[in-house]
Amino acid sequence: MSNTEVRQPVPPFTRETALVKVRLAEDGWNSRDPEKVSLAYTKDSAWRNRAEFANGRKEIVEFLTRKWNKELDYRLIKELWAFEGNRIAVRYAYEWHDDSGHWYRSYGNENWEFDENGLMQRRFACINDLPIKETDRKFHWPLGRRPDDHAGLTDLGL
């Protein structure tokens, strides 16, 4: 990807463009394709995810590969929390199970900072995992993109 490639929408964000950016991020992560997801970030993007740090696309791909090898049947919903200029804050929840069949709902907040071309240059994530029963799951769409008619976090009471 060249330094001049633009990833719409670009900052400064309006409510409408921030909502689009959040949904595009959700869709990308629900693809569970580390290479594809990494292209939304600058080549030198800096992450803090829980207590782990990643710098640059190569480390992002490695991180996401490990993540989705552990977090099976991963389904994510993101919701806009706040935005200003080139920054967006989101809250999110995702459901997954481990290789023993134990289910979890992970709750988190992320702070994002974008460059002028709409690539994320900084990502800070705080996440907590809650063990749940499989019968308590709320995210039931087929793997991949969340359907447009599926409830969001607020509508699900999360």
CATH number at residue 31: 3.10.450.50
Asked if residue 90 is part of any domain, the answer here is yes
Asked if residue 81 is part of any domain, the answer here is yes
**pLDDT band at 19, cuts 50/70/90?**
very high
What's residue 1's pLDDT?
Answer: 43
Asked if residue 153 is part of any domain, the answer here is no
73 vs 142: CA distance, rounded Å? 9
**Going edge to edge, which strands form the sheet with 72-84?**
52-55, 41-49, 120-132, 103-114, 87-97, 72-84
**pLDDT band at 70, cuts 50/70/90?**
very high
17 vs 98: CA distance, rounded Å? 35
Asked if residue 105 is part of any domain, the answer here is yes
56: Cβ–Cβ under 8 A, 6 or more apart, which residues?
43, 44, 45
Query: Domain range holding 114?
Result: 15-136
Asked if residue 23 is part of any domain, the answer here is yes
